[in-house]
A and B are shown apart, each in its own frame.
Chain A
C-alpha cells in the first residue's frame, strides 16, 4: 500500500530536501475559514498537513492548541465535520498528504471501523493519536493499517533504544520525533541534540523522521530540517491565527493571510536547509 505520505516523502528525497509539516486545528476559528486555511497551507508550501481533531481534554497540548480546540468546539466542530473538511479539501487537492492528529476518545465513540472507512473515503492518509502507545495497538493502529491508512507514531526523548523497536514496529508513513519532553508549544528544541536523537532513531528504521514541538521560526525550522527529514510547526501557526481574530474570537479578513504568510516564510526556511549527507 502506498499513501500520499509515502509518495510525497519519496518525491522530497529525490529533490534532496526535508518536508515542511504544518499543524492547524480543524474548525478553528470556524469550519468555513478553517477550510480556507487548510487550502492556503498547501498553496503556501506545506508538504504535509496535520489537522487537529478538537477534543475537550487535550492532555499533551499547551495553552495555544487547547484554546484552538475550544474555539472549534464552541462553533460546533465535531469529528464528523472534520472528515467533511477533509472531503472538501480533497476536491481541489489530491496530492498533499493529510494526517489527522488528536486523541482517541472521539474516534472510539464514532466507532473505529466506521471512522476508518469514512476517513479513507474522505481522503485522510494517516493518523497520529497521542494517547495510543504501542501497548494499545489493537485499538486503532492495527485496524488502521489494515484499512490502508498510515499510523504515525510519536517517539520522544524518553523512548530509549530498548523501547524504540516496540514503538517503530507498527509505525508507517513517517516517525514523529517529539523534540522535548513536554507539551506542544513549550521550550524550543536544540538542533544538535535533535540531530543526535534522529541519528539514533535512524539506526532502527528506514522511515522518514519528522521533528516537532518547540519549532516556531523559519530559522528554527531550517535548523531542524538540516538534521531530520521534516520540520513540524503547529503552535506558531495556531498563534498567528489567533492573533488575527477579533475580540470575540471570530475570523477577520486577515485570518487566512496571517497563516498563509507565516507558512510561506517557514517553508522558505525549510527549503533553504542543507540536508546532511545520508
Chain B
C-alpha cells in the first residue's frame, strides 16, 4: 500500500521556474521576452487536445512508440541478481530518446510560427533528432556542435548534413557541449524574431527544464504501464545515465511519488572523480550557468571547469536543475561510472544481448553491473537504454584496438 506523501516530488517547478533553489531564468534581457512567449505557447498547447492528439500520431507512426520494455535474460543470468529490463529507447526513429523532446518542441515552434530552428548537440543525437524533424516539417535547421565532438562523432555529423541541417563546429572555450550551448544562445540573441531554440536536455532557463521533462515523461509512463502488464506491479528500481539528464528525468518523473521505487542516476566519472570527469553532483556545487541555477563543475572563483567523458553526450559540466533538487531532497541517488567501466559495460551488453548501446547508457549499464548482483532475483530493475551505439563504433573500435 502506498502511503501518500505530504509533499509531492512531482509538483515543480513553481511559477518562476524554481525547483527548490534550483532552476530560474538567468538570461540576458534580449531573451527574456522570448522565453516568456515560449512559456505562454506551451501552456496553451498543453491545454489543447488537438496538440496532444497530433503529437501522439507522430509518436506512434513516425517515432515508432511505444518503445519495448525488454527482459534482458542473459544479462540477468550473468549478473545473478535482479531481473533486468531494458527500456528500448534506442529503437526510436533516429536511435535515441532525443526525438521525444524534439518532436514536442518542433510542434511548439510550428504553433509559434517559427521557421528557423537552432540546437546544440554533444554526441550528435539531439542534433540528428532535430535535423530529422526539421526535414520532416520543412524547417531551416542549424546545429551547434563543439569542434572536439564533431571530430569524435563523425557519423552523426554526416547524418545531420544528409538531413539538410547546417552543422556549425564551435571553436570557442573547450569546444564541447557547453560551448555549443553558449554559441546557440548567441545565435538566438541575434536572430530573435524567426528562431526557435530547441534545447536538447532538461536544462536552460525556465520553461525548458519543465517542457523537456514533460515531453520525455512518455518514457516513464510507458514503462509503468508495460511493467504492470508483464509483472503486474511497479518496478523496484530505475537506472539511467545523466549528462544534462533528459532520458533519466523522462524515466524517473512518473515514479517520483512511488516511494517503493529506488531511483539511480549515473553521472560520467571520466578518468575518475579525483581527475577529469563530468559528474556535476559528485564533484560540483550549486552555481549559475546557461539560464539556470544547478550543480556545476567550477573552480573557487566560479569559473566553469572542463568536463571530461569518453561519451560526448555526457561531457557537460552541469546537470538539469530538477536533478539537483532531487539530489538535495534525497529522492534520487546519484552515482557515477568511469570511462573504463562504461567501455566494459558497452562490450558486455553487446556480447550478451546482441544490443550495442551508446556510450551514454553504457554508463547506466555499468552501475547495473554493480547494483543487480546485490539484489534478490524477484527485484525488478529497469534501465533506460537511451541510445544505440552505432555512432560510437568507430571511436570504441579505435580504443579497443589501441588497448590490445
Q: Kindly name the residue among A59, A63, A104 whose own CB sees the greatest number of chain B CB atoms within 10 A.
A: A59
Point out the residue from B16, B291, B300, B303 that lies within 8 Å of A56, measured CB to CB.
Answer: B303
A80–B299 Cα distance when bound, in Å, is 13
Least Cβ distance of A53 to chain B in Å?
A: 10
Per the bound structure, the CA–CA distance linking A107 and B26 in Å amounts to 13
A62–B187 Cα distance when bound, in Å, is 11
Within 8 A of A (CB), among B137-179: 172-173, 178-179
Cα–Cα, bound, A80→B25 (Å): 26
CB contacts (< 8 Å) of A59 on chain B: these are 28, 182, 185-186, 189, 290
Taking CB atoms, residues of chain A closer than 8 Å to B298 are 105, 109
- Please report whether the interface of chain A is mostly helix, strand, loop or mixed according to DSSP: loop
Given A182-B190, A183-B190, decide whether A56 and B29 contact each other with a Cβ distance below 8 A: no
Given the complex of chains A and B, what is the CA–CA distance between A153 and B291 in angstroms? 17
Bound complex: CA A132 to CA B24 (Å): 10
Set A58, A79, A134: member contacting B301, Cβ < 8 A: A79
Say if the beta carbon of B102 comes within 8 Å of chain A.
Answer: no
- Tell whether, in the assembled complex, residue B26 and residue A181 are in contact, meaning their CB atoms are under 8 Å apart: no
- Sort chain B's interface into a size bin: 35 or more
Find the residue from B34, B179, B303 having the highest chain A CB count within 10 A.
B303
Least distance between B273 CB and chain A CB atoms (Å): 21
- Taking the complex as formed, is B32 at the interface, i.e. its CB lies under 8 A from any CB of chain A? yes
Does B302 contact A131, Cβ atoms closer than 8 Å? no
A103 surroundings in chain B (CB, below 8 A):
288
Distance A62 CA – B289 CA, assembled complex (angstroms): 17
**Does B26 contact A136, Cβ atoms closer than 8 Å?**
yes
Chain A neighbourhood of B302, CB < 8 A: 55, 79, 105-110
Q: Is A130 an interface residue (CB 8 A)?
A: yes
Which chain A residue lies CB-closest to B193? A181
Are the CB atoms of A57 and B287 closer together than 8 Å? no
A57 touches B33 (CB 8 A): no
Interface centre among A78, A104, A131, A181 (most CB of B within 10 A): A131
Selected contact of B303 from candidates A55, A131, A181, CB within 8 Å: A55
B333 at interface by CB-CB < 8 Å: no
A35 to chain B, nearest CB (A): 19
Contact residues of B between 16 and 36, Cβ < 8 Å to A: 16, 24-34
Q: A56-B303, A60-B189, A105-B302 are in contact. Are A178 and B29 (CB under 8 A)?
A: yes
* A66 interface hit (Cβ, 8 Å): yes
Tell me if B303 and A73 are in contact (CB < 8 A): yes
Given A57-B304, A66-B173, A178-B29, 16 more A-B residue pairs with CB atoms under 8 Å apart are A57-B179, A59-B182, A60-B185, A60-B186, A62-B186, A104-B26, A105-B302, A109-B301, A133-B32, A135-B32, A136-B24, A157-B192, A158-B34, A178-B30, A181-B192, A183-B186
15 contacts across the A-B interface (CB closer than 8 A): A57-B304, A59-B185, A59-B189, A59-B290, A60-B186, A108-B287, A109-B287, A109-B298, A110-B302, A136-B25, A153-B29, A157-B192, A158-B32, A158-B192, A183-B190
